């Protein structure tokens, strides 16, 4: 039976190796790089200690990015988790005919299977001033005075990108909530029916508390997603106009591959890492505590 002793390690080894080399080591190395000044094609590194971090905390673009990511997180939390939950509850209620349920939820989910690049390109057409969909609709409903170069104005560009993200992911979060709602035992509702509870009472006192765990999980993944945002901004505005739509992800990319300041970019990476890993840690704690 020697084979049974060695074989499992052979089965596990490739996965373990890949995960260690391409997930763990880069993150550890990234910490190390953040204390150096270095460029992309040379192997020479100069140790600079905490200089990159000192520079970051005095960098206006860094704060713009941090604020934009935070804004992204807050709006996404309200729309994706808030509206996602409301939609899920409506679709699982008796207000919607069972035949229509599948139809609604399939359609709402579609945007989340489309690549972010494609969605961003389509939304450039939504926001473009002359032939854009949004301005077209505003004109049709008599609100011409609000037509706008949505992505060209520093005041609206960030919100326009965030709005696109909501369009893309509300259906995804809704689907997670639907699954959670379907796991609630029927008899809980039956008992409430006997007590004469209304639909709204049932939603507030049964459904919402029962999907509490999923609410926490979706909140965390939404917020983590908001701090890792890159593609949406890169494709639509590359951080402009000016630096008004820079987020941490695009600023990291710009520092590393356009300004060739790889050490500085690594330090930005470390900061994103801290924010997202604290959030992931909370998520794993929550999903574990729910299973016991």
Contacting range for other proteins; rule: CB under 8 A; set: 3-11, 142-150, 153-161, 202-210: 3-11
Please state the closest distance from residue 183 (CB atom) to other proteins, in A: 9
Quick one: which of 66, 73, 81, 87 contacts other proteins (CB under 8 A)?
Answer: 87
The residues in 219-248 that bind other proteins, with binding defined as CB under 8 A, are 221-222, 224-225, 228, 230-231, 234-235
| Contacting residues for 95 by C-beta, under 8 A, at least 6 apart | 199
Torsion of CA 53, 54, 60, 65, to 10 degrees: 20
Quick one: which of 259, 284, 289, 290 contacts other proteins (CB under 8 A)?
Answer: 284
Q: Per rule CB under 8 A, is residue 67 in the interface with other proteins?
A: no
Q: Per rule CB under 8 A, is residue 277 in the interface with other proteins?
A: yes
Q: Which residue, 115 or 201, is less far from other proteins as judged by CB?
A: 115
Binding string to other proteins for residues 163 to 192, with x set by CB under 8 A, is what? ----x-x-xx--xx--x-------------
CA 12 to chain centre: 31
- Tokens at residue 112, please? 């989340």
Sign of the dihedral through C-alpha 63, 269, 40, 233? negative
| Contacting residues for 137 by C-beta, under 8 A, at least 6 apart | none
Where does residue 93 rank: exposed (0-12), middle (13-18), buried (19+ CB within 10 A)? Answer: middle
Q: Which residue, 68 or 276, is less far from other proteins as judged by CB?
A: 276
The residues in 41-60 that bind other proteins, with binding defined as CB under 8 A, are none
Q: Which of 153, 159, 152, 134 is nearest to 144 (CA)?
A: 134
Contacting range for other proteins; rule: CB under 8 A; set: 46-54, 61-69, 151-159, 218-226: 218-226
Please state the closest distance from residue 3 (CB atom) to other proteins, in A: 6
Count of residues that interact with other proteins, criterion CB under 8 A: 91
DSSP for 220-284, please give it: HHHHHHHHH--HHHHHHTTT-STTTT--HHHHHHIIIIIS--HHHHHHHHHHHHHHHHHHHHHHH
Q: Which residue, 158 or 268, is less far from other proteins as judged by CB?
A: 268
The residues in 15-34 that bind other proteins, with binding defined as CB under 8 A, are 15-16, 18-27, 29-30, 33
């Amino acid at each position: 039976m020697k084979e049974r002793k060695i074989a499992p390690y052979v089965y596990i080894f490739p996965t373990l190796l890949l995960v260690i080399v391409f997930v763990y080591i880069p993150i550890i190395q990234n910490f190390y790089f953040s204390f150096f000044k270095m460029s992309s094609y040379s192997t020479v590194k100069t140790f600079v200690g905490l200089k990159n971090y000192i520079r970051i905390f005095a960098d206006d673009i860094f704060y713009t990015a941090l604020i934009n990511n935070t804004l992204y997180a807050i709006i996404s939390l309200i729309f994706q988790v808030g509206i996602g939950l409301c939609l899920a509850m409506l679709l699982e209620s008796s207000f919607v005919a069972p035949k229509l349920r599948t139809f609604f939820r399939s359609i709402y989910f579609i945007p989340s299977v489309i690549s972010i690049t494609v969605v961003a390109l389509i939304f450039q057409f939504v926001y473009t001033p002359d032939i854009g969909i949004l301005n077209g609709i505003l004109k049709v409903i008599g609100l011409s005075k609000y037509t706008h170069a949505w992505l060209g104005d520093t005041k609206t560009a960030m919100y326009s990108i965030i709005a696109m993200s909501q369009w893309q992911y509300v259906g995804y979060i809704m689907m997670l909530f639907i699954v959670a709602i379907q796991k609630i035992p029927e008899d809980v509702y039956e008992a409430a029916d006997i007590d004469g509870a209304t639909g709204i009472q049932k939603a507030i006192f049964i459904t919402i508390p029962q999907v509490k765990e999923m609410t926490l999980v979706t909140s965390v993944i939404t917020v983590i997603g908001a701090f890792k945002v890159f593609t949406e901004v890169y494709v639509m505005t590359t951080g402009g106009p000016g630096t008004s739509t820079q987020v941490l992800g695009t600023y990291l990319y710009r520092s590393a591959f356009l300004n060739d300041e790889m050490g500085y970019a690594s330090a930005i990476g470390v900061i994103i890492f801290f924010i997202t890993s604290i959030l992931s840690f909370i998520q794993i704690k929550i999903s574990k505590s729910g299973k016991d």
